[in-house]
Chain A
Amino acid sequence: MDHIVEEKLGGRLIADWVRGAHLHFANDEAREKYGARAQLIIDTIRLKDTGKIPVIPAATQKFAFDYGPVTFREAMTDFDKVFDAYVRQYEDTDFDAYVGPEFIFPAGMFEALRWNRVRLPGVHLPDDKSFQFVEAEYMKAEEYDEYLDDPSDWILRKYLPRLSPELEPLAQLPPLRNMVAFFQGLPDLVLAAAENPGVVDAMKALQASGQAVQEWFDYLGRIDQELGGRLALPHLLGPMAHAPFDIISNYYRGWRGTIVDMYTRPEKMIALMERLLPWQLQYGIDGAKALGQPIVTLYLYKGAEGFMSEEQYEELYWPTLKKLILGLVDEGLLVWIFTQGKYDSRLHHFKEIPAGTCLIHLESATDAFAAKEVLAGSQCIEGNVSSSLLATGSVDEVEAYCVKLAEVCGRGGGFMMDFSAFLDEAKRENVKKMIAVARAYRGDGEPGRI
């Protein structure tokens, strides 16, 4: 059985990731420490009772920036400055892995295109506020068939022009599917470009946006080398994929539009989700290959209890999500499933996935102690330490909660300590206490031995 797993993509990637094949280690000590941490993370996901509780960071934003200090605006523009802030944060803490600024996208990427799905610090918001996504109706209800018929055409000539005024000229291009006949339809295409100088400007805007991304990728690579190679922290957040339902809701139809569709055209939604499924699966696999990272992350949005009923979850949300997870697991990959919001009643579904393949993040709205009962022997859980508690609570309050988490959820393995959500306002002493509680865990199964 092990032999078969090893031959899969995931098995190869896990082996490479654990030995840090992509890193240049500062010294043997860093190499050894890195390998031990990475192996502990894999073993914990695999539900081995290691007697230890790894500590991981869901993601840190302002908490990291304050080590600079840098503002949110600077974090999106001054990469050298924010690089130092992240390094200092991880030097000052004792995590077993790192999540960097993968979500602090470069402002230039958005600004060059005047991307309207985002509100940026320094542009729409004060410099010290987080950028935020706008959820709107970018796809009209009557466009399902158009999308299903020719998704790339809809994306090129409808979606992109709606997301960016710089890309509006792309709407003037002819459908590329017409480029099949006399001279491959070349006259139509080139005429559209010649008659619409904006098409050329759109390409220039894409180029400018891309240059910002090049700089950003270079900086993410430097962070990986510094945090992985020198501070011996495995990188936890790499390849990603999306639940098909969330793509429709977050990116195409908006939440209101999605709800109307749930009642008036559920069959179209299902058809679109089935269409998205193999692409998302391939996207996750390709990302894992490109980054050499065996853990694919899925952030879940609209499946939480507050958003829909269990029946709606089972009919519309879970089926394509399950197929996506199973597809990734079938490649030997591990899946970090980031549930957001209250997820108690949905957790039992993760037992339908082969045991020891998923890492389930829980926010504080979900009962971690009940989750342990539901998922023990099935999937590893992590998270749940309230961001509000870390921001406004006392060290003693943090300690009391984390000790209980370690005792109940840590028992028998399959648990990692982590906070509930992206960390902004949090007291350093509280975060350090959370880490210290996990470090003190000895895992002998005796209650109170923390």
Chain B
Amino acid sequence: MPEALIDAIVGMRMDEAVTLAKRMLDSGTDPLAIIADSSKAMEVIGRRFAEGEAFLPELIMGGEIMKSISEEVMPGGAGAVPEGSRGTIVIGTVHGDIHDIGKDIVALMLGIEGYAVHDLGIDVPVEDFVAAIKERDADIVGLSGLLTLAFDAMRSTVDGIAAAGLRDKVKIMVGGAPVDESVRAYTGADGWGNNVGHAVKLAAEWTDGDA
């Protein structure tokens, strides 16, 4: 049954996956075990995505299926993605920018990769990043933005984190379609990326020392 569930999720068959999950629940399977199986499916999708075999729609659809399953088997329960152990990441779109697709995908992938991800949303003020770093004891901060206007907001966020005395405590990545090395240098961040693969690789380098 777990194999069938994983297969249905990886195959993007939402109705079948939810029906299977319900059947597992009815036959006495622990809801947490069902969530764990669903997470395994997401890992498969995440791996295929990283290798260029799966695309954004699969990743998002996988997340949607997982959400439906968790609502079905653990109504009102905690989030479907278990808290990660590889490190804690605070992520958000910087103030003045409300774009979220790229940021959401990076947050989802980092969660699949085993990080505890705290997504502060869009148009996030500097002080919210600072507060979240303290509260969550973050290792990594992800600053997202799609507009070139976001560069200044990224820089002021990095400055704000430094002013709060937290700069040496966290690694900061800036990301978004127009972001490159020159933007990293301008903002004073530690790393940059313009796709989800970059973000995952950077996080791994910083937390595990992976190449």
Contacts and interface: CB of A to CB of B under 8 A. Distances in A.
**Physical interaction between A and B:** yes
A263 B147 contact: no
A424 B151 CA distance: 11
Interface in B163-197: 177-180, 182-183, 185-186, 194-195
Contacts of A391: 148, 151, 182
A207 interface: no
Interface string A254-291: 01100110111000000000000000000000000000
A341 B101 CA distance: 13
Nearest to A365: B177
A312 B96 contact: no
A335 interface: no
A197 interface: no
B57 A312 contact: yes
Contacts of B15: 264
A448 interface: no
B97 A263 contact: no
Contacts of B40: none
Nearest to B56: A307
Given A263-B14, A306-B195, A388 B148 contact: yes
Interface in A414-448: 420-421, 424-426
B12 interface: yes
B80 to A, nearest CB: 15
A256 B149 CA distance: 26
A384 interface: no
Nearest to B146: A132
A191 interface: no
Interface residues of A, number: 37
B126 interface: no
A435 B96 CA distance: 30
Nearest to B55: A309
B61 A388 contact: no
B52 to A, nearest CB: 10
Given A132-B97, A263-B12, A388 B180 contact: yes
Interface in B34-61: 55-57, 60-61
Contacts of B185: 392
A386 B57 contact: no
Interface in B42-100: 55-57, 60-61, 64, 96-99
B182 A389 contact: yes
B123 interface: yes
A388 B96 CA distance: 18
A312 B57 CA distance: 9
Given A256-B64, A387-B148, A425-B151, A125 B123 contact: yes
Contacts of A426: 148
A307 B182 CA distance: 25
B7 interface: no
B99 to A, nearest CB: 7
A62 B182 CA distance: 20
B152 interface: yes
Given A255-B101, A263-B14, A425-B148, A306 B56 contact: yes
Contact of B180 (A126, A263, A308, A386): A386
Contacts of A263: 12, 14, 57, 61
Contacts of B152: 425
Contacts of B14: 260, 263-264
A165 interface: no
B194 A312 contact: no
A129 B57 contact: no
Interface residues of B, number: 30
A341 B177 contact: yes
Interface string A298-332: 00000000111100100000000000000000000
B60 A259 contact: yes
B61 A259 contact: yes
B180 A309 contact: no
- Best-surrounded residue of A126, A130, A392 (most CB of chain B within 10 A): A392
A312 B101 CA distance: 19
Interface string A231-257: 000000000000000000000000110
Contacts of A88: none
Contact of B149 (A129, A341, A389): A129
B194 A365 contact: yes
B64 A388 contact: no
Contacts of B180: 386, 388-389
Contacts of A135: 101
Q: Which of B12, B60, B61, B148 has the most CB of A within 10 A?
A: B148
B182 A388 contact: yes
A112 B7 CA distance: 51
A246 to B, nearest CB: 14
Contacts of B186: 392
A237 B204 CA distance: 45
A134 interface: yes
A426 B182 CA distance: 13
A393 interface: yes
A230 interface: no
Most A CB contacts (10 A, CB to CB) among B14, B101, B149, B182 go to: B149
A424 B149 contact: yes
Contacts of B178: 364, 386-388, 420-421
Nearest to A255: B101
**Max chain B Cβ within 10 angstroms of own Cβ: one of A130, A134, A341:** A130
B183 A392 contact: yes
27 contacts: A62-B149, A125-B98, A126-B96, A130-B149, A132-B98, A132-B147, A134-B98, A135-B101, A255-B101, A259-B61, A260-B61, A262-B57, A263-B12, A263-B14, A263-B57, A263-B61, A264-B14, A307-B56, A308-B56, A309-B55, A312-B55, A365-B194, A388-B179, A388-B182, A389-B182, A425-B151, A426-B148
Given A135-B101, A365-B194, 16 more contacts: A62-B149, A125-B98, A130-B149, A259-B60, A259-B64, A263-B14, A263-B57, A264-B15, A306-B56, A307-B55, A309-B57, A392-B151, A392-B182, A392-B185, A392-B186, A424-B149
